[in-house]
Amino acid sequence: MAEKFQNFIAGKWCEADSGERFENRNPANWDEVIGTFPKSGKSDVERAVKSARAAFRKWSLTPAPVRGEIMKRAGDLMVERKEEIAQLMTREMGKVIDETRGDTQEGIDTAFYAFGEGRRLFGHSVPSELPNKTQWSYRRPIGVAGIITPWNFPMAIPTWKIFPAILSGNTVVFKPASDTPATATKFIELLLEAGVPEDVLNIVHGGGSSVGTAIVEHPDIDLISFTGSSQVGRIINSKAGAGLKRVSLEMGGKNAQLVMNDANLELALDGVLWGAFGTTGQRCTATSRLIVQEDVHDEFVEMVIERAKQLKLGDGLDESVDVGPVINEGAREKIHKYVQIGQEEGATLKLGGNIADDGDLAKGWFYQPTIFSDVTPEMRIAKEEIFGPVLSILKVKDLQEGIEVMNNVEYGLSSSVYTQDINAAFEGIRDIDCGITYINGPTIGAECHMPFGGCKSTGNGHREGGWEVYEFYTETKTIYVDHSGRLQRAQIDNR
């Protein structure tokens, strides 16, 4: 019998008010039910927000270094249970076990980084323009944070958001993706075991239209952090903006790897295979486009095809598997539709292009690693996010054309340039319109202590990760102390 999971609201594990539940299944074997979860709604969110609001003052007055010590304990627990978490995550969302171990390690790294930031929530002290006057700024928590996360990194992304939120002194109402609620629940259990007060954290399972919308529109939610599609992000931004909420959006990508004539082709080959087919292409930073300078184009395309043919599909718990399933049937249908669009547009299908359903693969949602050549910049497969194992290859004359093609999309998340020319590398760093650029590395591989995010339709200017995320979860307060014993009227008396 499948395990029955619950919401955690107001310090208690509980059912949804509706009494309804939904199933969570293994995308590599749809017959396997991971568990059932509460199908929550507005009233459940209401109770969670009320609890988080009541807990805010006491938690915000807890010294930040003390909050940081709890983050450290959470990280230690994650180290102890890394394999357990990874196994659950692979069963729940399909990516290969090495990747779910990495996903968990990202959460561990984020915990330990948060531990240090508990002693580094710096403000500024600057000299006054007037005598006998002292001034400084400090950072203070905002209130209740609504956290809405996707399914593709079900441990890493919640840690990116929740660790800095609670380390900064905020309380949390958390809606994980309905495709990966078990990993999210495991994370909350670990935080509670580490010592986060029970009323500081709330997890409410359910759909975006019910739970997500209720979080975004609730007047007592002060800030929203969302990772997901650009379409949904725009809706959230509009609704939350009406309430003057602070909003961080991390959305889509159409990332490209540019390979120049002088590149180390073997290194570039490793990069594009990992970038395009790691996580079955289901990353916002996945390499969806490969842009190759014309002199090495034909040779490199053949190298990519030959290596991609060797990739093994299957259940991600099998250590020999390279590529797992896509997340669900709807995702596979969308991917296959884009493959048909690419063929209709005149691109050349060089590899794959079909649903993989032989033998044990028939039990899950598998799709062949797919490669198109002869792709032009205005084709839909070169401009729209597919979110699957589909790579579009484009040919360019030189660096300038390569950068122009890279920028010819509505997104601006990640990018990559392979070259031995330092001048070309720095020209790419300067001119590629993205939040992240790698030189001689794939478009994926972010580290937790660096800012993560993009521009254009990828985000709204805030960043996950590093020091910048703590600026999102705090407000700056400016302090002036006049110890002159007389009225000083700043610019009036000073000029």
The tokens 């915990």 sit on which residue? 111
What is the Cα–Cα distance from 249 to 224, expressed in whole angstroms?
A: 8
Q: Two tokens at 271? A: 């990069």
Chain-centroid distance, C-alpha 61 = 30
SS3 489: coil
Q: What are phi and psi of 449, to 5 degrees?
A: -95, 15
Q: CB count, 10 Å around CB of 123? A: 15
Report whether 48 contacts 20 (CB < 8 A): no
455 labelled catalytic: no
> Long-range pairs for 12-19 at CB < 8 Å and ≥24 separation?
12/198, 14/38, 16/40, 16/41, 16/44, 16/205, 16/206, 17/41, 17/43, 17/44
Report whether 10 contacts 43 (CB < 8 A): no
Q: What is the DSSP string of 406-450?
A: HTSSSEESEEEEE-S-HHHHHHHHHHS-SSEEEESS-S----TTS
Q: HSE on the CB side for 145, CA within 13 Å? A: 30
Tell me the sheet residues that pair with 256: 289, 415
Report whether 358 contacts 347 (CB < 8 A): no
Burial of 244 (0-12, 13-18, 19+ CB in 10 A): exposed
The tokens 């999971």 sit on which residue? 5
Instruction: Determine the residue type at 445.
Output: G
Computed on alpha carbons and rounded to an integer, the radius of gyration of the chain in Å comes to 24
Q: CB count, 10 Å around CB of 129? A: 13
284 labelled catalytic: yes
Report whether 66 contacts 114 (CB < 8 A): no
Q: Which residues of 25-45 are buried (b: 16+ CB within 10 A; e: fewer)?
A: bbbbbeeeebbbbbbbbeebb
What is the Cα–Cα distance from 114 to 125, expressed in whole angstroms?
A: 23
Name the strand (E) or helix (H) holding 52.
helix 42-60
> Which of 284, 287, 264, 259 lies closest to 274, judged by CA?
287
Catalytic member of 106, 284, 385, 464: 284
Q: What are phi and psi of 223, to 5 degrees?
A: -150, 150
Catalytic member of 92, 99, 250, 385: 250
Active site residues: 250, 284
